[in-house]
């Protein structure tokens, strides 16, 4: 005969018939909790399945399935003619107070130490507003999504399924992707590559992290322009490198400052966005480009060239990358389709000498065994058939129109409080607000009215503290841009 205490424990088990979790699993969960909370001890005999079914008003088979589940996990033992018992092999749990026995979804704190100071805080915000002047994202409506979908589907239905799905491939990316990227870059950027110079990556940040992990040692000096991209700089700091910022002007990073540093200390790498400097969008002038390459050859430092939006240059043809003039293998060139198609697509590439790619691939295998070969092959297909090139020409025209319209709005409606230059390319305007305006307060008010844009805090440094931010135009329609400026105008004027 069961004790009144045991019968009370089982009679208090609650069954939720509207819960998606099967009833027998709900019962097994409750019994397990009684064991873990010390309410049922080792070798404790349980009421029979018949008795429990009566207490809970469920079918006896349901209770038997709950017992079987716990037996399979080792929590219960069943003996013919004797009944079901809490396993004799489990330790004795200390009884917990009633309030401590409540099951909470999602543990908040780990039982082990987490060294938060190892990483700089990488804050992020996902806006949900209808309108946005973002950091310079493309309009996914312009992207060839249907063509990419068909190409991806083709990869799933064509022959060679074992090669695609049955085994791991090369960590540097699918051969088809690397070959198509090589041809694409040679044709559009005047690079001189083969597939052996290409490494498939999941976006620019992965490329930066991989290079820092593979080629940067603690104490190495990395130089970049200020203001710059803090996500990149945080990677430098995590690699325990010494980061030195040099100023930029309307013609990009000031090369004389870099040369002064090189004369005093050994520089391992220079990170640069020469096509459209992030965040100010200025282009690195040709004489500075050539001088940067000369210094790299003289002092032996790596140039990490982040060419995040090469295709979108409006006033003339895009300036060719530094990598196109690199004859000594000093440049690691990085590109991504995130700024061409959508940030949701994590597809990119690193370009470097063969021995560097082999080394990066060897390290990459520890992080990401091989990437997504199926998606890579789909992208290769629409690169090879000219889809990407046609999309780029179309999107360039759309974004050019949006840039001109947006800049005319800024000048005509907000010209008294915002100073800016019409960008030669890219997807944003670098806008400097009057000093007496509180950008944080303005962005908060705008967001409450359905418009998101950055308060510019991520672009501030001890040596650079302008009241400025990036206002993206490419991802918004003409009508959306009008609505956005109207909201901003009503706030600041």
The CATH code of the domain that includes 288 is 3.40.640.10
C-alpha–C-alpha distance, residues 25 and 381, integer Å: 48
Does some domain include residue 108? no
Q: Is residue 405 located within the same domain as residue 374?
A: no
Task: Provide φ and ψ at 197, rounded to 5°.
Answer: -95, 5
Stretches in the chain below the pLDDT threshold 70: 1-2, 94-106, 158-169
pLDDT given at position 164? 60
Helix (H, G, I), strand (E, B) or coil at 93: coil
**Predicted confidence (pLDDT) per residue in 240-259, tens digit:** 999 999 999 999 999 999 99
pLDDT given at position 8? 82
Q: Is residue 28 located within the same domain as residue 161?
A: no
Q: Is residue 401 located within the same domain as residue 342?
A: no
Cα distances (Å, whole numbers) of residue 196 to 265, 304, 359: 33, 18, 12
Q: What residues form DSSP beta bridges with 420?
A: none
Q: Is residue 363 located within the same domain as residue 401?
A: no
Distance of CA 342 to the CA centre of its chain: 12
Q: Is residue 91 located within the same domain as residue 159?
A: no
pLDDT given at position 155? 81
Last residue of a domain, one of 389, 408, 427: 389
pLDDT given at position 80? 87
Q: Is residue 260 located within the same domain as residue 150?
A: yes
Q: What is the pTM of this model?
A: 0.83
Does some domain include residue 114? no
pLDDT given at position 94? 67
Alpha helices in 158-264 (DSSP H): 161, 175-189, 204-215, 230-238, 255-264
pLDDT given at position 100? 47
The CATH code of the domain that includes 20 is 1.10.10.10
- Sign of the Cα pseudo-torsion (50, 54, 60, 64, in order): negative
Are β-strands 428-433 and 131-132 bridged in parallel, bridged antiparallel, or unpaired? unpaired
Domain that holds residue 448: 131-136+394-492
C-alpha–C-alpha distance, residues 305 and 319, integer Å: 13
Does some domain include residue 178? yes
Cα distances (Å, whole numbers) of residue 457 to 229, 396, 420, 428, 469: 12, 30, 18, 16, 8
Does some domain include residue 56? yes
Q: Is residue 206 located within the same domain as residue 280?
A: yes
Task: Provide φ and ψ at 395, rounded to 5°.
Answer: -65, -35
Does some domain include residue 208? yes
- Sign of the Cα pseudo-torsion (423, 426, 429, 432, in order): negative
Distance of CA 457 to the CA centre of its chain: 20
Q: Is residue 32 located within the same domain as residue 49?
A: yes
Q: Is residue 176 located within the same domain as residue 265?
A: yes
Task: Provide φ and ψ at 275, rounded to 5°.
Answer: -70, -55
- Which residues touch 48 (CB under 8 Å, ≥6 apart)? 83, 84
What distance separates the 2 farthest-apart alpha carbons in the chain? 94
Query: What SS3 string covers 302-318?
Result: EEEEECCCCCCECCCCC
Cα distances (Å, whole numbers) of residue 36 to 75, 103, 294, 363, 401: 10, 11, 68, 43, 65
The CATH code of the domain that includes 449 is 3.90.1150.10
> Within 13 Å, how many C-alpha atoms sit on residue 108's CB side?
2
Does some domain include residue 126? no
C-alpha–C-alpha distance, residues 13 and 39, integer Å: 13
C-alpha–C-alpha distance, residues 292 and 279, integer Å: 20
Indicate the number of domains in the chain.
Answer: 3
Q: Is residue 399 located within the same domain as residue 326?
A: no
* Encoded tokens for 277: 């400097």
Helix (H, G, I), strand (E, B) or coil at 235: helix
Does some domain include residue 224? yes
C-alpha–C-alpha distance, residues 34 and 13, integer Å: 10
Q: Is residue 422 located within the same domain as residue 384?
A: no
Q: Is residue 244 located within the same domain as residue 384?
A: yes
């Amino acid at each position: 005969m069961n004790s009144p205490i045991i019968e009370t424990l089982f009679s208090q088990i609650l069954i939720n018939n509207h819960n998606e979790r099967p009833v027998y699993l709900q019962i097994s969960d409750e019994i397990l909790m009684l064991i873990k909370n010390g309410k049922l001890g080792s070798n404790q005999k349980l009421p029979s399945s018949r008795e429990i079914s009566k207490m809970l008003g469920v079918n006896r088979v349901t209770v038997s399935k709950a017992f079987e589940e716990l037996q399979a996990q080792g929590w219960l033992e069943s003996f013919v003619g004797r009944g079901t018992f809490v396993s004799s092999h489990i330790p004795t749990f200390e009884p917990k107070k009633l309030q401590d026995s409540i099951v909470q979804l999602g543990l908040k704190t780990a039982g082990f130490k987490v060294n938060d100071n190892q990483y700089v805080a990488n804050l992020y915000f996902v806006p949900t507003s209808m309108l946005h002047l973002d950091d310079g994202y493309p309009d996914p409506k312009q992207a060839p999504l249907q063509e990419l979908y068909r190409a991806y589907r083709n990869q799933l239905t064509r022959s060679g399924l074992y090669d695609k799905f049955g085994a791991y491939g090369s960590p540097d990316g699918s051969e088809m992707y690397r070959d198509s990227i090589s041809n694409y870059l040679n044709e559009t950027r005047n690079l001189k590559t083969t597939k052996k110079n290409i490494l498939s990556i999941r976006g620019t940040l992965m490329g930066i992290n991989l290079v820092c992990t593979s080629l940067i040692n603690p104490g190495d000096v990395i130089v970049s322009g200020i203001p710059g991209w803090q996500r990149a700089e945080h990677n430098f700091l995590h690699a325990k490198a010494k980061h030195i910022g040099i100023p930029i002007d309307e013609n990009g990073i000031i090369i004389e400052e870099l040369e002064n540093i090189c004369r005093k200390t050994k520089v391992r790498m220079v990170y640069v966005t020469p096509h459209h400097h992030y965040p100010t969008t200025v282009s690195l002038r040709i004489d500075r480009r050539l001088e940067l390459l000369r210094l790299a050859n003289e002092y032996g430092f790596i140039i990490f060239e982040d060419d995040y939006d090469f295709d979108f240059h409006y006033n003339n043809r895009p300036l060719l990358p530094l990598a196109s003039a690199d004859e000594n293998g000093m440049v690691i060139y990085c590109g991504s389709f995130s700024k061409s198609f959508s940030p949701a697509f994590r597809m990119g590439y690193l370009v470097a000498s063969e021995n560097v790619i082999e080394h990066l691939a060897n390290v990459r295998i520890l992080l990401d065994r091989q990437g997504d070969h199926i998606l890579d092959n789909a992208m290769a297909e629409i690169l090879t058939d000219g889809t990407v090139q046609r999309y780029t020409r179309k999107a360039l025209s759309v974004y050019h129109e949006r840039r001109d319209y947006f800049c005319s709005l800024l000048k005509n409606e907000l010209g008294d409080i915002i100073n800016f230059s019409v960008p030669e390319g890219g997807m944003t305007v670098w806008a400097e607000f009057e000093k007496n305006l509180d950008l944080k307060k303005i962005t908060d008010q705008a967001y409450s009215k359905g418009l998101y844009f950055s308060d510019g805090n991520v672009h501030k440094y001890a040596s650079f503290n302008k009241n400025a931010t990036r206002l993206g135009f490419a991802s918004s329609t003409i009508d959306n841009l009008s609505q956005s400026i109207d909201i901003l105008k009503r706030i600041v004027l």
